Amino acid sequence: MEISAIVTSVPLSLMFIFIGTIINLIQVACYLTIRPLSKSTFRRINGAVSEVLWLELVWLMEWWSGCEVKLHTDLKTYRLMGKEHALLMPIFGWTTWFYEFIFVDRNWAKDGSKLKSSFQALKDFPIPFWVTIFAEGTRLTPDKLLEAQTFASTKGLAIPKNVLIPRTKGFVTAVQSLRSFVPALYDVTIAIQKGHPSPSLLRFLKRQPCKIKVHIKRYSMKELPESDEGIAQWCRNRFIAKDALLDKFAATGRFDEEEITDFRRSTKSLIVFLITLFLFSVGAWISCQKFSLLSNRRGYTILATIVGTAAIFAHIFLEFTKLPPQKCKATLQTNGDT
């Protein structure tokens, strides 16, 4: 039942907000004091504190829900992962702004120049970065897949079965802006085997495990065409290949590339969660004592209001993140050496 997920999400949400607020305060302080003196030092500190939030999500997925992720790629690519620059989609919140995520308006007249300047700002980034581009532009649903199939049929394009037709403007801009200092592009495809449920935040909170297969193929940026149209066609061809790859996966339940057996769940995320849980517990206890939240009717009312508000927002957020049944999610990701 969703009620159990909401009950679980309330303390986790409050802890996430608590830690997120502390991180935002650290980021503000560093932005005002360190960044004017050294942008490189600010970026290093910001990367370290921002990682705490992402590790909380990793803990939820791997340790709490028992989600199992299997990585399929060649050893050369696996050994380069984490040692190269890359692209990441903007999510939400102040942390993403401080971490220099790129927010767009879905208006190319405005977004084109913003993307170019944002990508160029990464040229002197001191640590490996990942910037993920979801070239499909939206998540895969049955209705959107049907729209993509209808569009492909009217335009004489290959009709997709498992992916949407990519929107190539952002991808072309990323490649042209980054190729001078980013030497590689990672083609990432995520698949769920038949009979296994799709992962979702609701399933994670309810401690319902899932199995995810991740296929990664690395391309040298030098292999990509030079012209804008050539890059756009290369992207479209990759999605046709993705479609065929997922068709084969659906039939066989496996990828041809070997599975990386030492790709295990993160101990670091567990340690970070335990530390943040301790800090949150201490902070909650001090707040309860200072504001008498557990000693009189007024305190009980304030506490009930906080918990009730968190439960309402958790319900809204869970409804927002629910996904219809789907077989895959495909994405292109570019990477580069520091």
Whole-number Å distance between alpha carbons of 155 and 143: 19
Q: Model pTM? A: 0.77
Of 196, 186, 80, whose CA–CA distance to 128 is shortest? 80
Q: What is the span of the domain harbouring residue 316?
A: 270-321
Q: Domain check: are 66 and 153 in the same one?
A: yes
CB 165 within 8 A of CB 125: no
DSSP states along 90-126: --SSHHHHHTTPPP--S-HHHHHHHHHHHHHGGGG-S
pLDDT in the model for residue 312: 86
pLDDT in the model for residue 106: 63
pLDDT in the model for residue 133: 80
Q: Domain check: are 251 and 274 in the same one?
A: no
The answer as to whether 77 is a domain residue is yes
The answer as to whether 336 is a domain residue is no
pLDDT in the model for residue 93: 37
pLDDT in the model for residue 241: 93
In the chain the first and final C-alpha atoms are separated, in Å, by 47
Q: Domain check: are 249 and 282 in the same one?
A: no
Q: Domain check: are 57 and 163 in the same one?
A: yes
pLDDT in the model for residue 27: 92
At residue 62, what is the residue type?
Answer: E
Q: Domain check: are 240 and 146 in the same one?
A: yes
Q: Domain check: are 163 and 255 in the same one?
A: yes
Bridge partners, residue 215, by sequence = 72, 189
pLDDT in the model for residue 233: 95
CB 188 within 8 A of CB 333: yes
Angle between helices 169-178 and 108-120 (to 10 degrees): 20
**Pairing relationship of beta strands 328-337 and 68-72 according to DSSP bridges:** unpaired
* Rg of the chain on CA atoms, in Å: 22
The answer as to whether 337 is a domain residue is no
pLDDT in the model for residue 199: 79
The answer as to whether 335 is a domain residue is no
Q: Domain check: are 26 and 128 in the same one?
A: yes
pLDDT in the model for residue 322: 66
The answer as to whether 125 is a domain residue is yes
Q: Domain check: are 257 and 281 in the same one?
A: no
Angle between helices 297-321 and 2-33 (to 10 degrees): 100
Q: Domain check: are 233 and 286 in the same one?
A: no
Of 251, 266, 281, the residue at which a domain comes to its end is 266
Q: Domain check: are 274 and 174 in the same one?
A: no
Q: Domain check: are 278 and 300 in the same one?
A: yes
pLDDT in the model for residue 92: 35
The answer as to whether 231 is a domain residue is yes
Looking at the structure of the chain, the number of domains it has is: 2
Q: Domain check: are 117 and 226 in the same one?
A: yes
pLDDT in the model for residue 97: 37
Question: Cα–Cα distances in Å, from 200 out to 210, 212, 256, 318?
Answer: 9, 12, 27, 9
The answer as to whether 26 is a domain residue is yes
Average pLDDT per run of 10 along the chain, which is 338 residues long?
A: 73 86 92 94 90 88 88 87 64 38 62 81 82 78 89 91 89 92 88 80 84 88 93 93 91 85 82 92 90 88 89 79 53 48
The answer as to whether 333 is a domain residue is no
pLDDT in the model for residue 103: 53
Whole-number Å distance between alpha carbons of 326 and 142: 8
DSSP states along 215-279: EEEEEEGGGS-SSHHHHHHHHHHHHHHHHHHHHHHHHHSS-SSPB-TT----HHHHHHHHHHHHH
